[in-house]
Amino acid sequence: MLRRRKIAGCLAEARDGAVVLGVGVNVNQAAAELPENAGSIRSLTGRTADREDLLSMLLTDLEVRYTAWLAGGLDAVYEGLGPRDFLRGREVTVNGVRGVVSMIDREGRLEIGTGHGDHITVESGEVVYAR
């Protein structure tokens, strides 16, 4: 997210003991080329970005975090999740359940308050958030 616009996303899928990670980043698209509520680095900053440099930085950061995760599990990277948790405090719908995101728990699940002190934890599903 950049300036409350989605400029990147990732999708992780577990299969046969491995995780496949898909990552997309809107880099140099003009605003007219993007869906509603989406942005790109260019459309939001007014500057174009070098895709090779951006990819290099992204892969380097991913390698650092993945190495830490391999060595220490989610606990090794958990503290870095909070500042990046865009969904915390937002109203969402996941798997037909509506509520407000409380946090990502130490198991990597999304904790959602559903009202009156009740909450659920979601391990996987499509998250739709109110804008």
User: 112: domain range?
Assistant: 86-129
Residue 86: closest CA among 49, 130, 123: 130
Does 45 lie in the same domain as 97? no
**Total count of domains within the chain:** 2
Q: By the 8 A CB rule, do 7 and 37 touch?
A: no
**Number of Cβ atoms within 10 Å of the Cβ of 18:** 7
Amino acid letter, residue 59 = L
Does 29 lie in the same domain as 74? yes
For residue 82, the model assigns a pLDDT of 79
* Alpha carbon distance 86, 46 (integer Å): 23
Does 93 lie in the same domain as 72? no
Q: Is residue 14 part of a domain?
A: yes
Provide φ and ψ at 110, rounded to 5°.
Answer: -90, 125
Q: Is residue 1 part of a domain?
A: no
Does 107 lie in the same domain as 71? no
Q: Is residue 72 part of a domain?
A: yes
Q: Is residue 40 part of a domain?
A: yes
Question: What is the band of 55 on the pLDDT scale with cuts at 50, 70, 90?
Answer: very high
Q: Which residue has the higher pLDDT, 131 or 110?
A: 110
For residue 130, the model assigns a pLDDT of 76
For residue 83, the model assigns a pLDDT of 78
